[in-house]
A and B are shown apart, each in its own frame.
Chain A
Amino acid sequence: MTRRPAIDARAIHPFHLSVTQAGPPRLARHPKDGWRLADPYPLSANARRVLHAVVRAMCPPSPAPRSYDLMHRVELGARRLLRYMHPVVARCLELGLFVLDWLPILTLSSTLRLHALGSARTSALLARWSHGRIKTLRLLMQGMRGMILSAYFDQSEVHAAMHYDPVAFMHERVALRKKLLAPALRGAE
C-alpha cells in the first residue's frame, strides 16, 4: 500500500466544507454551497454591441415577458455560458458575432451593420440565415439560438408566463419521496 502526501483527502477547507455539506434540497437559484459561478466572458465592446442586438432580436417580443432587466440577465447568462465553453468554441462564437454584424452589408441586405438595425429587421435576417444554404452559418445560428434562448427560457418571469412552476412541484415530490421511503426506513429500524 502506498502513502498519500501531506494533504489529507478529508482535510477541511472553508470552501471544501461548504461544497460537501449535505442536507435537504433548497431548489433555489445560487445555492450557497460555496461553488463559484465563473465571471462573464470578456467580450470586446463591439462584440457586446452585436450580442446585445442579437439578444433583443432573438428573444420573443411582447406579450412575452420582456424588460430591460430581463434582457440584461439573458445577455449576462450568455456571456457566462461562453466562459464554460472550450476556449476555441467561445472564440469562434465571438468571431461569429463579428461576422453576423457585417453580414447584412456583405449579403447586400442592408446598408447598415446588424447592431444598427431594428429588432424586427434583425430578427428577420437571423431567421433567413438560420434556414439558409450555408452549413457553417446554420451551425453558428444554432449556437447563438441555443446560448440566448436557453438563458431567456430559464428566467423566473418567463416560467411564470408559461405556467411552469418546477420548484413548488419539486418540493411536493421531495415530500412524496419521504412517504415512499418511509416503509423501508421503518423496516430498517
Chain B
Amino acid sequence: MLSYDDYGKDTVFDTDVVVVGTGAGGAVAGAELAEAGRDVLFVEEGSHHPTSSFNPYLTESIPRLYRDGAATVILGNPPIPYAEGRTVGGSTVINGGMAYRAPERVLEQWARSTGIDALGPRALDPLYERVEKRVHASLQHEESIGNDSRLMAKGALQMGWKTTVNRRAQRACAGANNCGFGCPTGAKQSTLVSYVPAAFAAGAGCLTDVRAERLIIEQGRCRGIVGRAIDPATRRPSHTVTVRARAVVVACGAVQTPYLLLRHKLGRPSRQLGKNFLCHPNAKVLAIYPFDIEGWKGVSQHTQIREFTGDGILMAENFVAPGALAAHLPFHGAEAWEIMQRMNQMLISGVLVEDSGSGTVSRSLFGMAEARYSLTELDHRRFLRGTKLLAQMHFALGAEKVILPFSTFPLARNVDDLARLDERSAPREALDVFTVHLMGTARMGSSPRDSVVGPGGELWDLPGCYVADASLFPTAIGVNPQLTVMALATHVASRLELAREAA
C-alpha cells in the first residue's frame, strides 16, 4: 500500500486490473479478482486509517473518513445533504453495517424489467450467501443492545407494528456505537477489515491518496486510469499517477462513478449515464424523554420497523454523535444548548423513504459532481405520515417533546400538536432530510438502448471498463444497500474478461 509521499513525479504502474475505489463494490470485486489469480491494483482517493486510529471525535473523523468534509449536498427541493466515505474501505467504514438482502419483490422486478436472470432472487441467492459469510452477517449479541433500541422495540410493540431485528456485518460487536467514525473495536466487518486484507493476502496492492481523473482509452478499449496524488497538507492535487491495465473496474459510488465516466461522454447509446439517481432520503425524529436513555451506549441500530414498508416507509433508531446531531438541528445558541444538554434523555429515530422519483448526476462547470433530486409529492406525504407515526409512538412511550424534521414545524409538545402537521404547515421545501444511500446512475440492463452497462457490468460503449457499485441498481431497494452492492460486485468480478494483452 502506497501513500502520497511514495509517489514520484509522473509515476506509472502496470497491472491486470485496476479497481477504482475500495468500498462495498471495489474491495469485493478486487478481492474476488485477486483470489482468482489476477494482478489487482486498487486506486483510492482517501488515506488508509487502521482500526487503531479511530476515535469518537467528529472534528478528526470527518476530515479523515468523509468525502469533502461531509459538506456534500444534492441540489433540489429540498436540498439533501449526503455523506460518503473517502478512505480505504469507503463508505463501509462509516456506515451502520446493516446486512440486508434486497427484498424478493425488488429483485423479481429487476430481473423482469431488465431481462437479466442474474439479477433475480434465485441467481443472486448464492452470491448473497457468499458475501454474508465473508462479512459475518449476523444478529447482535444481547450485551451490545442499548436502551434506545430496547425502548424503540417496546414502542413498536405497543403500537402493534411489525419489526425486524437487524443482521449486521459484524463479528462480536460489543455496541461501541462509533459506526459513523470507524469501528474502534474492529468488530464491524467493513471492507477495511474484511475484503481489503483478503485482496492483499492474494497479492493485490493499493495506491491511496490518488484521485482518478480520467480513463485511458486506446483503440476503443479502456486501458487504465490517470489520477492525481492529493497533497495532505493543502488537499490540492499534485503529481500525476498513471495505472495501465487490461481491465478497469470503476467503483466510486453512484455520484463519483458517473462523474468520472461522463468526462469521456460515455453512456451515449441510452443517454442514461447519470440518470435514474436514487437516494433513499431519510429524516430524523428526536424524542426527549423525562428519564435517562444514554442512547450512545449500545449498538447504533438494532431494530427496524417494517410495518409500513409496503407503503415505502422504513423506520428505525439511529444514534449519532453530538457534533453530527447539533449540525442537523434547526437551532443554534441557547436553543441548541437547551436541547443538546438533554442528549442523554434523547431517542434519535428516523424515517427512510423508498424513492418514487429519481434525479440526475452531471459534471458541473466548476469541476465537481452535481447531483440533483427533488422529492416527489408522494414521498413528501410519506415523510409526513412516517414522521407523525413515529412522533405518536414517542408520545405513547411518554416523551416530553419531539423535534420534527421541518423548519416550519420544528417541535411537537403533545399528540394534539401533531394534528396540525400537514402539507401546508410542513411544506416540502421545509423538510430537513439527509441521505447515505446513493444508487442507480449507471443502471445494468440487457440492451444498450435503455441501460449503461450490460449484464456483466461492462459499459456498452467502452469494452474493458466495468462498473461495480450501487450505480448498477435499476431501482431503489428500500433497505440498506451494502449487501446488494457486494453481491453485484461479486457477479461483475466473475464476468470480467481481460484484454488479451496490454496495449
Q: Which residues of A contact B (CB under 8 A)?
A: 1-5, 7, 9-11, 13, 15-16, 19-31, 33, 35-39, 57-61, 64, 77, 80-86, 88-89, 123, 126-127, 130-131, 135, 138-139, 142-143, 145-154, 158-159, 161-164, 166-167, 169-170, 173-174, 176-177, 180-181, 184
Contact = CB atoms under 8 A, between A and B. Distances in A.
Contacts of B16: 1-2
B55 A146 contact: no
B68 A86 contact: yes
Contacts of A169: 176-177, 296-297
Contact of B340 (A80, A84, A153): A153
Interface in B165-188: 171-178, 184-187
Looking at A23, A36, A146, the one whose CB has the most chain B CB atoms below 10 A away is: A146
Contacts of B233: 36, 38-39
Interface string B325-355: 1111111111111001101100000000000
B234 A154 contact: no
Interface string B34-57: 000001010000011111111111
Interface stretch (B1-9, B90-98, B147-155): B1-9
B463 interface: no
Given A85-B71, A153-B325, A25 B172 contact: no
Contact of A5 (B14, B55, B73, B232): B14
B159 interface: no
Interface stretch (B58-66, B122-130, B391-399): B58-66
Contacts of B2: 7, 9, 11, 13, 16
13 contacts: A4-B14, A33-B52, A35-B47, A81-B63, A84-B63, A127-B331, A127-B335, A131-B330, A142-B81, A145-B329, A153-B322, A153-B326, A159-B322
B185 A174 contact: yes
A77 B407 contact: no
A72 B205 CA distance: 42
Contacts of A152: 323, 326
A149 B326 contact: yes
A174 B184 contact: yes
Given A58-B332, A150-B327, A2 B173 contact: no
A146 B327 contact: yes
Contacts of B327: 145-147, 149-150
A11 B49 CA distance: 17
B56 A20 contact: no
A31 B55 contact: yes
A167 to B, nearest CB: 7
Interface of B: 1-6, 8, 11-16, 39, 41, 47-60, 62-64, 66, 68-69, 71-73, 79, 81, 141, 143-144, 171-178, 184-187, 205-206, 232-235, 245-246, 296-297, 321-337, 340-341, 343-344, 366-368, 407-408, 429, 502
A118 to B, nearest CB: 13
Given A86-B368, A180-B141, A31 B53 contact: yes
A2 B15 contact: yes
Contact of A39 (B174, B234, B332): B234
A88 B367 CA distance: 8
B185 A127 contact: no
A139 B334 CA distance: 21
A88 to B, nearest CB: 4
Contacts of A151: 58-59, 323
Nearest to A2: B14
Contact of A59 (B232, B246, B333, B343): B333
B128 to A, nearest CB: 23
B62 A25 contact: no
A64 B337 contact: yes
Contacts of A31: 52-53, 55
The 10 closest A-B pairs by CB, nearest first: A9-B205, A60-B337, A84-B69, A146-B327, A166-B56, A180-B172, A154-B323, A177-B174, A149-B326, A173-B176
Given A37-B60, A38-B234, A146-B327, A85 B174 contact: no
A170 B185 CA distance: 8
A35 B53 contact: yes
A84 to B, nearest CB: 3
Contact of B323 (A84, A150, A167): A150
B86 to A, nearest CB: 9
Nearest to B176: A173
Contacts of B144: 176
A7 B329 CA distance: 48
Contacts of B344: 162-164
Contacts of B69: 81-85
Given A84-B66, A163-B344, 7 more contacts: A5-B13, A77-B59, A80-B63, A143-B71, A146-B327, A150-B58, A150-B323
